[in-house]
């Protein structure tokens, strides 16, 4: 299957390198990004150079498209990809909240929307628990202040991240609000809400912690199955908003597409 990549940030580049190095049954068909010159330089440096393509041409050339761009760009990527009957891997999954129309579009065109676990663990347990009754899903996230830079909530509240000297609660609320307030920071929360009880009932506390070197997530799920507690500490990639586990889990998802043995829910 040919795989196209949209966005060549930390995740997109890592996915391209993995495909270039070899994932059985998959081939990198090309990529697209905002900075064409930089993108072409990267793509030419691969062992098997891949072309830079427009979004439309990339979709035409691919059986599966990996979105590693932004929520705003997903508004264009998703309908074009799904109308063409191509499977779509979504990293900016906060953009999926409330988009039942995209799910219906995928159904109508016999394709799929796939969401990697990204920077958290335990989604298999949450999906299993959802078969029964879940009473609450909460998440605490702690990040270095610079990892929150540029978020709409930070700008709207005029929060000076450079003046934070101790652990500070920046935001508390449901996933529906958090994903709008921090579109580049809490996609893991969106994935958690989609796997569980929905974005209105899934809640987050987001902290800025000076001196923190890793992104920390603590998830607590309570239901008829019992209690599930997960804690993850992610080493950031070259992009402080993105943990390395985000692209590792995406590569794992791609490997599983053609695997003969699948482990986990």
Q: Choose among 186, 202, 192: nearest CA to 241.
A: 186
The reply to whether 217 belongs to the active site is: yes
Which residue in the block uniquely carries the two structure tokens 């920390």?
216
Compute the distance between CA of residue 186 and CA of residue 171 in angstroms, rounded to an integer: 11
Q: Give whole-number Cα distances, 165 to 52, 146, 160, in Å.
A: 44, 13, 11
Whether the Cβ atoms of residue 20 and residue 28 lie closer than 8 Å to each other:
yes
Cβ contact 65:15 at 8 Å? no
- Residue among 73, 142, 217, 241 flagged as catalytic: 217
DSSP-based three-state secondary structure for 139 = strand
Provide the residue count of the chain: 265
Q: Say how far apart CA 246 and CA 39 lie, in whole Å.
A: 20
The residue behind tokens 């060549």 is 8
| Pair 135, 223: CB distance under 8 Å | yes
Which tokens is 219 given? 């998830």
CA distance 98 to 157: 25
Extract the tokens encoding 124: 């298999």
What is the set of active-site residues? 217
């Amino acid at each position: 299957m040919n795989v196209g990549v949209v966005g060549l940030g930390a995740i997109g580049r890592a996915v391209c390198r993995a495909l270039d190095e070899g994932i059985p049954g998959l081939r990198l068909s090309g990529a697209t990004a905002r900075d064409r010159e930089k993108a072409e330089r990267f793509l030419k440096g691969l062992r098997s150079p891949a072309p830079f393509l427009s979004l439309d041409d990339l979709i035409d050339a691919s059986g599966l498209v990996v979105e590693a761009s932004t929520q705003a760009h997903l508004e264009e990527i998703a309908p074009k990809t799904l109308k063409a009957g191509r499977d779509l891997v979504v990293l900016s999954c906060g953009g999926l909240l409330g988009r039942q129309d995209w799910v219906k579009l995928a159904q109508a065109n016999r394709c799929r929307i796939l969401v990697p676990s990204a920077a958290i663990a335990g989604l298999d347990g949450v999906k299993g628990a959802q078969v029964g009754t879940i009473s609450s899903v909460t998440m605490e996230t702690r990040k270095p202040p610079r990892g929150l830079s540029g978020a709409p909530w930070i700008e709207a509240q005029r929060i000076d991240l450079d003046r934070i000297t101790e652990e500070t609660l920046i935001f508390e609320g449901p996933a529906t609000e958090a994903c709008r307030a921090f579109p580049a920071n809490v996609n893991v929360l969106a994935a958690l809400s989609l796997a569980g009880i929905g974005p209105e009932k899934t809640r987050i506390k987001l902290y800025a912690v000076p001196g923190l070197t890793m992104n920390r997530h603590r998830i607590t799920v309570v239901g008829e199955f019992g209690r599930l507690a997960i804690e993850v500490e992610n080493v950031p990639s070259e992009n402080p908003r993105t943990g390395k586990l985000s692209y590792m889990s995406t590569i794992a998802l791609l490997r599983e597409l053609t695997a003969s043995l699948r482990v986990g829910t």
